[in-house]
């Protein structure tokens, strides 16, 4: 039985002068998750926001599930801070050198779900040994760092490969895509086994965000 489709609007495409209001728009549209892109200007060539932003969103009354995507060279140094700030799930990239398994275990010990992320250039085999230790695998469908980039259809075989491992091993981690996702590209990813869809630009630019969220939930 495949996991139900789930939408995670990316706050990166919201109004950075009124992030709580943008997060509220996503919640009121019916999106169950909120995707929070954390950038350090080193692992990716851009900066976004930090744990204090998550804490402020919680203080503003946001009850949404916080899907926190750490694009950091040293994510192991920040897991505690994001858990304390209100993250529900913390995803870390496989590419930098640090103890991935220990960091995933630490995230769970902090009471959060944990995810592992791969850049477009990273083969699925890089994360294959960690599949038993994660709640989510995030396949980047753009090079991370910026919203608004075109979807990379060449990531579809990678999704099918990871979904195949999930089925053959009887695992039930979520399989998420991030980058260039709209209703059309989401449908392609759904057919390849994806159940969790990050959407920044397409969600915040949609004329009817509730209709967009409903269409995603029906994929
Ligand atoms: C890219 C981020 C994405 C980004 C997606 O580095 O990880 O979450 O916000 O934006 P769109 O949906 O506009 O491609
Ligand atoms: Zn992201």
Task: Compute, in angstroms, the gap from residue 168 CA to the centroid of ligand 1.
Answer: 30
Mutate to test the pocket of ligand 1, among 179, 202, 204 (most ligand atoms within 8 A of CB): 179
Regarding the beta carbon of 10 and ligand 1, being less than 6 Å apart is answered yes
Domains of the chain: 6-217 (3.20.20.70)
- Annotation marks residue 37 as catalytic: yes
Regarding the beta carbon of 143 and ligand 1, being less than 6 Å apart is answered no
Helix (H) or strand (E) holding 65: strand 65-71
pLDDT at residue 156, as a whole number: 98
Residue with tokens 């505690």: 80
> Any alpha helices (H) in the chain, and if so which ranges?
19-29, 51-59, 79-85, 100-109, 156-169, 183-191, 201-205, 209-217
For ligand 2, a single-atom ion, which residues have Cβ within 5 Å? 37, 69, 178
Task: Compute, in angstroms, the gap from residue 35 CA to the centroid of ligand 2.
Answer: 7
Residues 142, 138: Cα–Cα separation, whole Å: 12
Q: What is the pTM of this model?
A: 0.98
Per the annotation, does 93 bind a ligand? no
Can you list the residues of the chain whose pLDDT is less than 70?
Answer: 1
pLDDT at residue 2, as a whole number: 82
Give how far the C-alpha of residue 46 lies from the chain's centroid of Cα atoms, to the nearest Å: 17
pLDDT at residue 29, as a whole number: 98
DSSP string, 68-107: EEEE-S-GGGTHHHHHHHT-SEEEEESSS-S-HHHHHHHH
Regarding the beta carbon of 186 and ligand 1, being less than 6 Å apart is answered no
Q: Are 86 and 49 in contact (CB under 8 A)?
A: no
- Annotation marks residue 195 as catalytic: no
Burial class (CB within 10 angstroms; exposed 0-12, middle 13-18, buried 19+) of 108: middle
pLDDT tens for each residue of 51-101: 999 999 999 999 999 999 999 999 999 999 999 999 999 999 999 999 999
């Amino acid at each position: 039985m495949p996991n139900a489709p789930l939408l995670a609007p990316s706050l990166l495409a919201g109004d950075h002068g009124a992030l709580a209001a943008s997060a509220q728009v996503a919640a009121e549209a019916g999106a169950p998750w909120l995707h929070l892109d954390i950038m350090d200007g080193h692992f990716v060539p851009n900066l976004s926001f930090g744990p204090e932003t998550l804490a402020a969103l919680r203080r503003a009354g946001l009850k949404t599930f916080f899907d926190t995507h750490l694009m950091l060279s040293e994510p192991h140094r920040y897991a505690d801070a994001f858990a304390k700030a209100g993250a529900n799930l913390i995803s870390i990239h496989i590419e930098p050198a640090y103890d991935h398994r220990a960091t995933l275990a630490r995230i769970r010990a902090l009471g959060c779900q944990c995810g592992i992320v791969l850049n477009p250039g990273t083969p699925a085999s890089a994360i294959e040994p960690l599949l038993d230790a994660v709640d989510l695998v995030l396949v980047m469908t753009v090079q991370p760092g910026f919203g608004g980039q075109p979807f990379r259809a060449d990531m579809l075989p990678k999704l099918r490969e990871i979904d195949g491992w999930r089925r053959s091993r009887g695992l039930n981690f979520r399989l998420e895509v991030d980058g260039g996702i709209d209703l059309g590209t989401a449908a392609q990813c759904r057919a390849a086994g994806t159940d969790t869809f990050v959407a920044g630009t397409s969600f915040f630019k949609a004329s009817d965000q509730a209709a967009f969220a409903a269409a995603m939930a029906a994929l």
